[in-house]
Amino acid sequence: MKLNSPADLESLKRQVASRRGPDRPAITVCGGTGCTAYGSRQVADAVREEVEKRNLQDKVEVRTAGCRGLCERGPLVGLHPQDIFYQKVKVTDVTDIVGKTFLSGEIIDHLLYTDPISKQKYTYEHEIPFYKKQVRHLLGKNSLIDATRIEDYIGLGGYTSLATALTRLTGQQIIDEVKKSMLRGRGGGGFPAGVKWETVRNAHGQPRYLICNCDEGDPGAFMDRSLIEGNPHQVLEGIIIGAFAIGASEGFIYVRHEYPLAVKNVQIALDQAREYGLLGKNILGSGLDFDVRINRGGGAYICGETTALIASIEGKVGEPSDKYVHTAEKGLWGKPTLINNVETWANVPLIIEKGADWYLTIGTEKSKGTKIFSIVGKISNTGLVEVPMGITLREVIYDIGGGIPKKKKFKAVQTGGPSGGCLPESLLDMAVDFDELTKAGSIMGSGGLIVMDETTCMVDVAKYFLSFLEGENCGKCVPCREGVRRMREIVEDITNGNGKESDIAWIEEMSAAIIDGSLCALGRMAPNPVLTSIRYFRPEWDAHIKDHKCPAGVCKNLVLYWIIDSKCPGCGLCVKACPTQAITFMGKRKPVILDQSKCIKCDVCVAACHLDAIEVR
């Protein structure tokens, strides 16, 4: 069905809405990558079979939707319009969900979410603390649509902003509205999106290109993946509006190679958009010719950097180049090129639909709108959250994330990925926005938050991120290639008990050289995790260097294992588990470590003991 005008789009929207209004009963199974890993496809198939077996096809819609955020509790199932929320659903639960809850309204107690702090059970999604403080303008449609059905998106008003842009606004008026909204790029740098758009529009040279960057490679980050998997048409609508604004005729969606579901759903979305006349020639009868194709990344972290990404699309080695000329003026094949990440593009339809004035009401003075974060690590509610700019780290970690599990103490949170910083408990009440995080020595980045508890060694964390960046740098420039490697070697020596008091000074001096001399942002920001770790956790570094001790008990060369006699019941589980016979029964049949030289510090005994009777110190 080809839509030849905005009137055709509006007509289709009304038809779809009449068939599937907001009160139409639906059972929604999360089909995001996280829930899929837990078996949500099998659950969805079972729901469809049960619905057919009971001849309920005309009474309830079964929908496989996008990521709902509470990834660790998957598979997630929702019943609409009641807003009933079930978690950790198994195929064996499906009969009861359809037969008891859908048909009789009976709540299945063991499938309800239990809050890790209050221990209270919740029946309805909007009451769950994880969702209560979120503002889900971008992720909200994920639970309402099937990403593979364009009519689901159109029925909820999708592509209406595109129709408005094509018929009521000029390209410059669109750019002015984006500038007025103060939308900043969500890919990491936070550069004003409207300014970048205007630069491309005013640049000399034709054709102009447009790129959507979905190459997030930060450890623990999956914001762009979940957004484009669950609602690809909102991203695509933003891209087409951007193309009209800058005068582009061709676009690319650069997707990380490890995102097969994202590639699949985006390709389906592109094919459907072409079929409906929303991509290709004369879009909605406006005269706009624009099309998009997918380019899969080669798996290199560095390809998320704009110039490396462009080189990769051109078929060259994905490595950065000097930015003495901006990609907005000379980018893909030497032509003006507009690059924004997935989340940035997804904001555009909202700004056109509701206006810049509405958008300005969300966030802080200089950071407007919402931001999607992935929260991972030592936290109760691992997953994806969307919150207004300016929310505090404490609210994200405790009110939404459910706090630190196993009664452990919070120690640090890493923001901004490998190029970000490690922030201590004293900064938990800091507002989360671009500028405040930069002042603290970290960055917003793409939105990854890695939470750490008291069992985390901050020196070891610094070593991990340096190792990651050493392996992922392209090797093109000496400061990054050699500097990061040498810093990693110094930090590794410290964790092995060979640190010297002069090492901190060397690290700080080397960091300055890397920041000043590196070609791209990967090198310039590589020292951040180390410098913030030293800045906020200096006593821990001193303990490693001066006392040859690891307070967290992580660095194996600096710790010994001891059995606490008062806690040990003499069960012998650790004796049986020890692979080197370093633990044996002595005296009153209680196990003790007989020979420290035999202990290989494998942690097998710690895992075997359920009474915390083995201490690492």
CB 54, CB 94: distance < 8 Å:
no
Residue 466 lies in a domain: yes
pLDDT at 588: 62
Return the higher-pLDDT residue of 587 and 89: 89
CA 442 to centroid of chain Cα atoms = 17
Mark whether 328 and 222 lie in a shared domain. Answer: yes
Strand partners, 561: 616
- Answer with the one of 434, 453, 472 that is the final residue of a domain: 453
Residue 81, preceding peptide bond in cis (omega within 30° of 0): yes
Decide the pairing of beta strands 448-453 and 370-377.
parallel
For the domain that residue 112 is a member of, what is the CATH number?
A: 3.40.30.10
Q: Do residues 474 and 331 share a domain? A: no
What is the per-residue pLDDT across 156-194, written as a single tens digit (0 to 9) for each? 999 999 999 999 999 999 999 999 999 999 987 789 999
Assess whether 174 and 318 both reside in one domain.
yes
Q: Check residue 569 and give its pLDDT.
A: 86
Pairing of strands 383-388, 370-377: antiparallel
Examine the domain organization and report whether 351 and 382 are in the same domain: no
pLDDT, mean over the chain: 92
In a domain, 9, yes or no: no
Total domain count, the chain: 5
- Confidence (pLDDT) at 587: 63
β-pairing verdict for 26-30 and 291-296: unpaired
- Smallest CA-to-CA distance from 87 within 59, 63, 46, 115 is with 115
Contact 533, 424 (CB under 8 A): no
Handedness of CA 146, 151, 152, 157 (dihedral sign): positive
Residue 395's domain is classified under what CATH number?
3.10.20.600
Cα angle value 52/54/58 (rounded, 5°): 65
66 in a domain, yes or no? yes
Q: Which of 453, 484, 504 represents a domain boundary (last residue)?
A: 453
Of residues 476 and 154, more confidently modeled = 154
Residues 6+ apart with CB under 8 A from 11: none
CA dihedral 574, 575, 578, 579 (to 10 degrees): -150
Q: What would the pLDDT profile of 389-403 be if each residue is shown by its tens digit? A: 999 999 999 999 999
Question: Strand 61-65 and strand 26-30: pairing?
Answer: parallel
Residue 590 confidence (pLDDT) above 80: no
Is 70 exceeded by the pLDDT of residue 589?
no
Out of 200-204, 317-321, 327-331, 462-466, least confident range: 317-321
| pLDDT exceeds cutoff 70 at 412 | yes
Q: Are residues 504 and 597 in the same domain?
A: no
**DSSP letter string over 358-370?**
HHHTSB-SSSBSE
Q: Clarify whether residues 213 and 110 are in a common domain.
A: no
pLDDT of res. 245 = 97
Domain with residue 465: its CATH number is 1.20.1440.230
For position 591, what pLDDT does the model report?
A: 79
Query: In sequence order, what E strands does 268-382 have?
Result: 291-296, 337-341, 370-377
Q: How many angstroms separate the Cα of 64 from the Cα of each of 50, 308, 374?
A: 15, 36, 22
Residues 248 and 207: beta-carbon distance below 8 Å:
yes
Q: What is the predicted pLDDT for the residue at 148?
A: 94
> Which of 385, 382, 396 is closest to 429 using CA atoms?
396
Interatomic CA distance for residues 46 and 193, integer angstroms: 44
| Residue 148 covered by a domain | no
**Same domain for 210 and 162?**
yes
In Å, what is the CA distance from 401 to each residue of 124, 142, 232, 404, 442?
18, 20, 26, 8, 21
Report how far residue 519's alpha carbon sits from residue 505's, in angstroms, rounded to the nearest whole number: 24
pLDDT over 90 at 592, yes or no: no
DSSP 451: E
What are 515-564's pLDDT values in tens digits? Answer: 998 888 888 888 999 999 999 999 999 999 999 999 998 998 898 888 88
Can you give the pLDDT at residue 278?
97
Residue 371 · residue 432 · CB < 8 Å: yes
Quick one: average pLDDT of 61-69? 92
pLDDT band at residue 324 using 50, 70 and 90 as cut-offs = low
**Single-letter amino acid, residue 491:** V
Residue 22 has pLDDT above 70, yes or no: no
If DSSP states are collapsed to H, E and C, what string results for 460-522?
HHHHHHHHHHHHHCCCCCHHHHHHHHHHHHHHHHHHCCCCCCCHHHHHHHHHHHHHHHCCCHH
Domain boundary residue, one of 409, 436, 453: 453
Q: How many CB atoms lie within 10 A of CB 188?
A: 24
Rounded-to-integer distance, Cα 378 and Cα 381, Å: 9
Q: For 326-369, where are the alpha helices, taking DSSP H only?
A: 342-354, 356-360
Same domain for 507 and 565?
A: no
The CATH number of residue 210's host domain is: 3.40.50.11540
Mean pLDDT over 359-385 rounds to 94
Q: Is residue 5 part of a domain?
A: no
Residue 8 is assigned to a structural domain of this protein: no
Give yes or no: residues 425 and 494 share one domain.
Answer: no
| 553 within domain boundaries | no
Residues 6 or more apart whose Cβ sits within 8 Å of residue 172: 201, 245
Q: Are residues 100 and 114 in the same domain?
A: yes
Full residue range of the structural domain in which residue 396 is found: 370-453
pLDDT (0 to 100) of residue 513: 93
Q: Residue 554 and residue 456: Cα distance in Å, rounded?
A: 7
Q: What pLDDT score was predicted for residue 78? A: 95
Helices (H), 156-218: 160-168, 171-181, 193-202
User: Rounded distance, CA 222 to CA 226, Å?
Assistant: 6
- As a whole number of angstroms, the longest Cα–Cα distance in the chain is 90
In a domain, 258, yes or no: yes
Domain check: are 352 and 378 in the same one? no
The stretch 361-378 carries a mean pLDDT of: 94
Is 483 found in the same domain as 420? no
Percent of the chain with pLDDT over 70: 99
Q: Which two tokens stand for residue 165?
A: 């842009």
